[in-house]
A and B are shown apart, each in its own frame.
Chain A
Amino acid sequence: MASNKILLKNKLFLSNIFNHKSMRAFVLIIFSFIFFNSCETDDEIQIDICFRQFVGENQLELNNITYENEAGNLYSVERFLYVISDLTLYFENGDFMVLDNYYFINLDDENSLKVKNIDIPSPCVSVSFTYGFPQNKNITNLYLNDENNFHNLMLWPTTLGGGYHYMKLEGKYLDNYGEQKFYNTHTGGLNGNDYSVSYFFDIEASEEKSYIYIDMNINNIYNDPVYDFNYYGSAIMSSEEAQSIIQVNVLEDVFSVS
């Protein structure tokens, strides 16, 4: 939205000077100069936003039962989908820009890991967003016609409060007897409660910066307080206790932005 506004301003500016007939040829020359040099002399900056996933220090690798949480559970990740909504960028010049309604990150879909070529007016100093959906945007069928099969993959049944999953994290863990079990860490607005989490991060501002990284440390979803797969079992969509412990964990040290 904000980037549209910026574009609009430029257009108005151009059409105003084009009205002075004598100026036209001159302006045309200047215009083509600006046009051909726009990559270098542009006062706008272009950035990408990258959603990255780590376990501890290391980039997430799928399908290996080698990760260990504080409870001592060994686990793997096979599938990971989550929602970041209300993503907002704040700039050095005081402007801010609210990006799309939400971003649907799905490790099976490489395109979902990056938001490309965002034009920003001045270096970005802060970033805010919500993990999941705030309750007023978590409404059954609100995203019925959205792309990337979002509705089908993320719907949260009305029997359990309706709306959409915030996150689907699935894989295997080794139980107390060393046997492989599946876990589905699915979070959402169980029984109409709001378990989403909002963040505000300051980042180092720089003209040179072409990326903003929104990183997740998956292991910390299960740490501090300790989340034990043996205790919560494979399925937690009906457990308010599990939903809140994960909310608390996500609040603390799961996300970081740089």
Chain B
Amino acid sequence: MKKFLIFFLLIVSCDPDGDDNDFETTPYSLIYPSDIFPIMLMPEDNFLTQEGVFLGKKLFFDPILSSDNSISCASCHIQEHSFSDPNQFSVGVNGDLGFRNAFSLVNIGWNSSFNWDGSASSLENQVFEPVSNPIEMANNWQQVEADLNASSEYRDLFKQAFNIDCIDSTHVAKAIAQFERTLISYNSRYDKWSRGEVMFTNEELDGLNIFTTERGDCFHCHGNINFMDNSFHNNALDETFSDLGLYEVTGNDLDKGLFKTPTLRNVEFSAPYMHDGRFNTLDEVIDHYNSGGVYSSTVDPLMKYVNSNPYGIPGQTGLLLTQQEKNNLKAFLLTLSDEEFIQNTDFQP
């Protein structure tokens, strides 16, 4: 009976109101420094438009996507936390807890894969997962489409953005992906320093040096303009893995315990840290790296001090940074914070 009802609803709500050939959208141009940021690639059938971004934002903040209208994307991706969740694990519609920490969504238009294990290959693709995931929004797409088609406001907005009369999941995903691509940060203290607008303190400068040389060796994985590398690594967190990470997607033994390198932009706001949110503070993260971490068969060769140290002192492992050096590294990480980004009203409903 329920199936029938949905079907009926769809038919009624998708009545095309005549053809119009005068469909027009306003292009939305992304602004970012293109000499240091790569060109943001987007699917050819989903270039940004003002109408699409506006609609995507509305959907991102609308609990209509969840089964009981209780949570939206923004419930777990909270702007003041750089669109991440301050809880170790996010709470889904039924009060269920997930098992991974929510990503912060900043400069994700430059990512080439999504989720900790790389299970989604595009932003459009990624949208399908939270909506139907039973521990997240626990909805089904027929329901979502029916609910949206029942709203004249949404019918108008989809018409304006995509010239469609019948709202479908593909266009929901397209609109949200458009909004997500606008979540750009390039005005952190680090960016201003790069542009010569501010000076770093001596502590920050030393932190930069630790980060970008093999003293700390963070740059091999967090080295690009978004402080990640669009790649997967085992950064020596565990001896055995309860979450197999990239292996879940590839089935390759060498990928066990590898996770996507997260961006460090706005890392100050996106605690807790790592795929399982195990660290609450940046100090704990730095202590992890300073200790060298723990050995496992797939540990990345770049985590070279997991079983040695830079000075060849027998029996010691890790970077052997002093307290002052650890503070300096943290001072540098804090320069990646962009207050304008977390307050930007363009990103608000």
Binding site for B on A (CB under 8 A): 78-79, 141, 144-145, 149, 151-153, 155, 157-160, 170-172, 175, 177, 179-184, 230, 233-238
Contacts and interface: CB of A to CB of B under 8 A. Distances in A.
28 contacts: A141-B35, A141-B36, A145-B39, A149-B230, A151-B38, A151-B224, A153-B229, A153-B231, A155-B224, A157-B219, A159-B208, A159-B213, A171-B301, A175-B308, A177-B314, A180-B307, A182-B303, A182-B304, A183-B304, A184-B214, A233-B310, A233-B312, A234-B305, A235-B214, A235-B217, A236-B214, A237-B213, A237-B214
A151 B38 CA distance: 9
A145 B112 CA distance: 13
B75 interface: no
The 9 closest A-B pairs by CB, nearest first: A235-B214, A182-B304, A170-B301, A157-B212, A234-B304, A152-B229, A159-B212, A181-B308, A182-B301
A179 to B, nearest CB: 7
Contacts of A175: 308
A184 B208 contact: no
Interface string B207-222: 0110011100101000
Nearest to B194: A158
A235 B210 CA distance: 14
Nearest to B217: A235
A183 B231 CA distance: 20
Interface string B290-315: 00000000000111111110101010
B223 interface: yes
B213 A170 contact: no
A235 B310 CA distance: 8
Choose among B36, B307, B310 the residue with the greatest number of A CB atoms under 10 Å from its CB. B307
B223 A144 contact: no
Given A182-B304, A184-B301, A233-B310, A152 B231 contact: yes
Contacts of B302: 170, 184
A155 B223 contact: yes
Interface in B260-309: 301-308
B304 A145 contact: no
Given A145-B38, A145-B39, A171-B301, A157 B213 contact: yes
B224 A172 contact: no
Nearest to A77: B301
A179 B308 CA distance: 9
Given A151-B38, A170-B301, A182 B213 contact: no
A234 B200 CA distance: 30
